[in-house]
Copies of this chain bind each other. A is one copy, B any other.
């Protein structure tokens, strides 16, 4: 092997994450050289204002306000994109790849929307495109999945991959406070955006689960393949019932594979209290992976934050530099092995939690049980008790045995039309039992 020369890095963006990347590279030269066998330096940095005062030593690098200075520089080997946004970031990354520069990005929105195109472009140019920091900031889950893939077959990925919603749900259950109240507090504390839609409706989690599923199942799934349901309708009453029954309610991104057909969804789900994801609290993230050989593993850590994210980016940079020197080109798993195949409703198997208010009269229960029996869905757990003495009304909470979604949806529709059912208060999937 030829004597390795130094690797030059171009950086797009110099916010808190970009600054963190520079600090790590400056402070860990010896360790980086030890791991990669060559020196790494940041040569050019795209900034919005090159005259801005910064608490950072940039004397060894050129700051520029023109992306072309970074992208056209023949000496740049690797481009790190930490500017965020979609249109420009996509454009710059495509340009970098066309010019045979390897790319590291932390941009989950971009990877979820344009990952296929960008990975194909990287493959076509024999370049790496790494994006560890785009999912669960400080947790090396993409690397864990990629390395696992060499010797295992992943059958299921479940992730708590949105810190904002996990923070809200944790506070709701711990402090028995309503969604709206906790959301407002989270906004004050900076754990939730002023417009929280993308978090609380599950879109942010869906982007991440699409990225993980594409990689873990080696299949070109897209954001549109992820069924979405947010947490805005979750109540503390629901959570109370979950606790009574031994479950914890979490917003989970789920990717399941049966043979070569997959299911992708983000929705609030009940997890048994002893499931490792059930213990993930506050703004923390965790990704649970089931592989045929290794069984259950879980990666836990901070889902965001500038230093965790910068640490992930530098890990990707190390992997990129190793691959440059290995000549293994585009890295791993950019070309999917499997054709996309999404499960039909009849194939999606799950248990369900269902909470109803019913008329407390003779025959109510018989009506309910025969409806479930007709669809061959059994009860795993059942609670019932009276709500009003005068106008007899009961609350019924059911956890079903495993059933397919088509059957459950038929039951659900009939329930809404039944005279004795006053209201279907809530319905959630129950996951994380025996992995089938």
Q: Which residues of A contact B (CB under 8 A)?
A: 1-2, 20, 24, 28, 31-32, 34-37, 138-140, 143-144, 147-152, 274, 276, 278-281, 284, 286, 291, 293-302, 305, 307-308, 310-311, 314-315, 318, 322, 325-328, 332-333
- B315:A151 contact, CB within 8 angstroms: yes
A139 to B281, CA, bound (A): 22
- A305:B311 contact, CB within 8 angstroms: no
30 pairs, A vs B, C-beta closer than 8 Å: A1-B1, A1-B327, A24-B151, A32-B151, A34-B150, A35-B332, A36-B328, A37-B327, A138-B295, A140-B144, A147-B318, A148-B311, A150-B314, A151-B311, A274-B279, A276-B284, A279-B279, A293-B310, A293-B311, A294-B302, A294-B307, A294-B311, A295-B302, A297-B301, A297-B302, A298-B300, A298-B301, A299-B299, A299-B300, A326-B326
Given contacts A24-B152, A147-B315, A294-B302, 7 further A-B contacts (CB under 8 A): A24-B151, A37-B327, A150-B318, A151-B318, A291-B311, A296-B300, A299-B299
A280 to B274, CA, bound (A): 8
Of the candidates A35, A294, A299, the one having the most CB atoms from chain B within 10 angstroms of its own CB is A294
- A294:B279 contact, CB within 8 angstroms: no
Chain B residues with Cβ under 8 A from A280's Cβ?
276
Chain B residues with Cβ under 8 A from A296's Cβ?
284, 300-302
- A307:B293 contact, CB within 8 angstroms: yes
- A28:B151 contact, CB within 8 angstroms: yes
- A31:B300 contact, CB within 8 angstroms: no
Q: Nearest B residue to A28 by beta-carbon distance?
A: B151
Which residue of B24, B139, B152, B276 contacts A297 across the interface (Cβ within 8 Å)?
Answer: B139
Chain B residues with Cβ under 8 A from A284's Cβ?
276, 296
A140 to B1, CA, bound (A): 29
- A300:B300 contact, CB within 8 angstroms: yes
Chain B residues with Cβ under 8 A from A298's Cβ?
286, 298-301
Instruction: Check A281/B274 contact, CB under 8 A, given A150-B315, A297-B300, A326-B325.
Output: yes
Q: Nearest B residue to A333 by beta-carbon distance?
A: B34
Instruction: Check A301/B307 contact, CB under 8 A, given A28-B151, A150-B32, A276-B280.
Output: no
Instruction: Check A149/B31 contact, CB under 8 A, given A1-B326, A328-B37.
Output: yes
DSSP majority for the A interface? mixed
A213 to B326, CA, bound (A): 30
Task: State how many copies of this chain the complex holds.
Answer: 2
Q: Shortest Cβ distance from A159 into chain B, in angstroms?
A: 13
Instruction: Check A297/B295 contact, CB under 8 A, given A140-B144, A147-B318, A151-B311.
Output: no
Chain B residues with Cβ under 8 A from A328's Cβ?
35-37, 322
A318 to B24, CA, bound (A): 27
A28 to B148, CA, bound (A): 11
A326 to B295, CA, bound (A): 31
Of the candidates A281, A301, A314, the one having the most CB atoms from chain B within 10 angstroms of its own CB is A301
Q: Nearest B residue to A275 by beta-carbon distance?
A: B279
Q: Nearest B residue to A280 by beta-carbon distance?
A: B276
Chain B residues with Cβ under 8 A from A295's Cβ?
138, 301-302, 305, 307-308
Instruction: Check A31/B297 contact, CB under 8 A, given A1-B327, A281-B274, A327-B1.
Output: no
A279 to B326, CA, bound (A): 41
Chain B residues with Cβ under 8 A from A294's Cβ?
138, 301-302, 307-308, 311
Instruction: Check A311/B152 contact, CB under 8 A, given A279-B278, A322-B326.
Output: yes
A300 to B280, CA, bound (A): 12
Q: Nearest B residue to A170 by beta-carbon distance?
A: B274
Q: Nearest B residue to A307 by beta-carbon distance?
A: B293
Q: Shortest Cβ distance from A165 into chain B, in angstroms?
A: 18
Q: Nearest B residue to A139 by beta-carbon distance?
A: B297
Chain B residues with Cβ under 8 A from A286's Cβ?
298
